[in-house]
Chains A and B, each alone.
Chain A
Amino acid sequence: MSTRKPRNNALLALMLAVASFLSISAIVRTALGAEIVVAEEEQLRHGKVLYASYCSGCHGVNGDGQGPAAAMLIVKPRDFTSGLFKFRSTPNGTLPTDADLMRTITRGVNRTSMPEWSLLPERERMALVQYVKSFYPGFAESGPGRPIFIPAPPATLGSPESIARGRQLYEMLECGRCHGPNGLGDGPSAATLAPDSWGNPQKPFNFTKGALKSGAAPEDVYRTFMTGLNGTAMPSYADVFDEPDGENVKPGDAWNLVSYVLSLRTPSRPGTQVASEEGAAVNAAYRGDLARAGYTAPLPEPAQAGANKESKP
Chain B
Amino acid sequence: MKVRWTGGVRRLAMAALAAAVLVPGAAHAQGKITGKVSLSGAAPTAPKLKMDADPVCAAAHPDGAAAEDLIVGSGGGVEYVFVYLKEGVKGTFPAKTDPAVIDQKGCLYGPRVVGLQVGQPLKFTNSDQTLHNVHGMPKVNAPWNFAMPKFVKQKENKDLTKPEVMIHVKCDVHPWMSGYVGVLEHPFFAVTDKDGNFTIEGVPPGEYTVEAWQEKLGAQTAKVKVDAGAPAKQDFTFKPS
Assess the B131–A236 pair: CB atoms within 8 A. no
Assess the A239–B131 pair: CB atoms within 8 A. no
Q: A193-B175, A194-B175 are in contact. Are A93 and B149 (CB under 8 A)?
A: no
Assess the A239–B142 pair: CB atoms within 8 A. no
- Report the count of interface residues on A (CB-CB < 8 A): 30
- Closest residue on chain A to residue B157 by CB atoms: A93
A232 to B133, CA, bound (A): 11
Assess the A240–B147 pair: CB atoms within 8 A. yes
Assess the B146–A236 pair: CB atoms within 8 A. yes
Question: Nearest chain B CB to A224's CB is how many angstroms away?
Answer: 12
Q: A93-B142, A177-B54 are in contact. Are A245 and B133 (CB under 8 A)?
A: no
A-B pair count, CB < 8 Å, reads 80
Assess the A233–B133 pair: CB atoms within 8 A. yes
Residues on A with beta carbons closer than 8 Å to the beta carbon of B151:
172, 245, 247-248
Assess the A93–B147 pair: CB atoms within 8 A. no
Residues on B with beta carbons closer than 8 Å to the beta carbon of A234:
145
A171-182 vs B, CB cutoff 8 Å, 1 = contact: the mask equals 011100110000
User: Is A197 engaged at the interface, CB distance under 8 Å to the other chain?
Assistant: yes
Determine the main DSSP class of A at the interface with B. loop
User: Is A230 engaged at the interface, CB distance under 8 Å to the other chain?
Assistant: yes
- Report the count of interface residues on B (CB-CB < 8 A): 26
Assess the A178–B173 pair: CB atoms within 8 A. yes
Residues on B with beta carbons closer than 8 Å to the beta carbon of A177:
54, 131, 173
Residues on A with beta carbons closer than 8 Å to the beta carbon of B133:
233, 235
Near B by CB (< 8 A), chain A positions 251-308 give none
A92 to B144, CA, bound (A): 6
- Closest residue on chain A to residue B149 by CB atoms: A173
B163-178 vs A, CB cutoff 8 Å, 1 = contact: the mask equals 0000000101111000
Q: A174-B150, A240-B147 are in contact. Are A193 and B172 (CB under 8 A)?
A: yes
A18 to B152, CA, bound (A): 46
Residues on B with beta carbons closer than 8 Å to the beta carbon of A197:
137, 143
A211 to B159, CA, bound (A): 33
- Closest residue on chain A to residue B138 by CB atoms: A93
User: Is A80 engaged at the interface, CB distance under 8 Å to the other chain?
Assistant: no
Interface centre among A84, A93, A94, A197 (most CB of B within 10 A): A93
- Closest residue on chain B to residue A225 by CB atoms: B147
Interface centre among B146, B149, B172, B174 (most CB of A within 10 A): B172
Q: A92-B144, A93-B143, A93-B144 are in contact. Are A239 and B172 (CB under 8 A)?
A: no
A200 to B32, CA, bound (A): 45
Between A and B, 24 residue pairs with Cβ closer than 8 Å are A92-B143, A92-B145, A172-B151, A173-B149, A174-B173, A188-B54, A189-B54, A189-B174, A193-B172, A194-B172, A194-B175, A228-B146, A228-B147, A232-B145, A233-B135, A234-B145, A235-B134, A235-B135, A235-B172, A236-B145, A236-B147, A239-B152, A239-B155, A248-B149
**Top 10 closest A-B pairs, CB basis?**
A233-B172, A174-B131, A235-B133, A235-B147, A188-B53, A235-B145, A93-B144, A93-B143, A192-B175, A93-B142
Given A172-B149, A177-B54, A178-B173, output 8 extra A-B contacts at Cβ < 8 Å. Answer: A92-B146, A174-B131, A174-B149, A188-B54, A189-B173, A189-B174, A232-B145, A239-B155
